[in-house]
Structure 1
């Protein structure tokens, strides 16, 4: 039953991750640049555009906000990054409100080694469980001495990277590992 729940959770997480990537790609205008059609070859002179295009890098006088930035006067929460590739919230306890999300802070040594793992893999790493409160640790069947409760462990995977490969790279980065081959993730701790 736990395996089914974990697989379901991983599938949901993968779907949400894909949806998030598509959303942010849309928000950041990651669409291919449009090319203007070539001018007609009729030989007749072509009229000049009514207003010349601004050179690249010049601000648009009608829209002072750069693309991908919130409009002036609006607030958009920026994630608090704990390393180059990981936001603090990626380590947040995923209980249903039993705690404020951080009964302990992610340990700096764990964060730096997981970042080193991310760089070694060369691909995104998804943290499925970071810091845990006591209640969440009991819900998932964690041991009483779980390193998750101290912010010293994380469960993670990298889409398309075999568990054994990820575990070996994690070990090379100085992390203690416990690979869960059937569930598709690696438990890492310091």
Structure 2
């Protein structure tokens, strides 16, 4: 009887050892797998939108200049009045040099003498407005006359004409006053100046 009990006891011990060994082995296997880092599945790639180049906006074109309306005035700085420089005076407010040819040295500045009557009337015009009048062109040599687009028989060539403006005074008012003084006048609205001449000298 004792030997039977002993056999059963040994059999139970063997079964416990087997079961315990199996459980231990199984847990060891699971722990090993858990400790090995598993590769994470790749993140789904997002499709990139095709890059489109945005064209640079073109700079706006500057507005085209409009022709000045009648009654407009030239806004230029005024010279000293009278202009204090050396040289002979054409009249009380004008130096002779103001009427000289402004070419680039093609002549000595005086291809012809200025008409005294013209000088007198321009001085009277200056006194009428009681403010400076600017001479932009007096006598011209033929080469200078061609450069500025003057007509072939321009009276500038013989000293019988001058181009001028009065700062702050509309060109048409200057033209009206010049006509009242007996001067011939051609108005240049786009450039805001007047051409004055002595008609009596025409042949």
Which TM-score band (shorter chain)? 0.5 to 0.7
In structure 2, C-alpha distance between the alignment counterparts of 1:167 and 1:92, rounded to whole Å: 22
So what's the TM-score if we normalise by structure 1?
Answer: 0.61
What is residue 132 of structure 2 aligned with on the other side? 124
5 Å-filtered alignment, 1:65-84, equals 78-84=86-92
User: How far 1:121 sits from its partner (Å)?
Assistant: 1.4
Structure 1: distance between partners of 2:169 and 2:118: 21
Say yes or no: does 1:181 pair with 2:189. Answer: yes
- Aligned length, in residue pairs: 125
Deviations 1:63-90 (A, max 9, x none): xxxxxxxxxxxxxx73200111111000
* TM-score where L is the length of structure 2: 0.57
Residue of structure 2 in register with 1:138 after alignment:
146
- Over 3 Å off, 4+ runs: none
Q: Label 1:130 to 1:161 Cα distance change in 2 as closer, same or farther (>3 A).
A: same
Deviation readout 1:32-81 (Å, 9 max, x if unpaired): xxxxxxxxxxxxxxxxxxxxxxxxxxxxxxxxxxxxxxxxxxxxx73200
- C-alpha distance in 2, partners of 1:78/1:160? 27
Matches within 5 A, 1:36-115: 78-115=86-123
Unpaired segments ≥5 residues, structure 2: 1-64, 66-73, 199-203
Larger Rg: 2
Cross-structure match for 2:180: 172
Structure with higher RCO (Cα < 8 A, 6+ apart): 2
Q: Could you say what the CA RMSD is over the residues aligned between the two structures, in angstroms?
A: 2.4
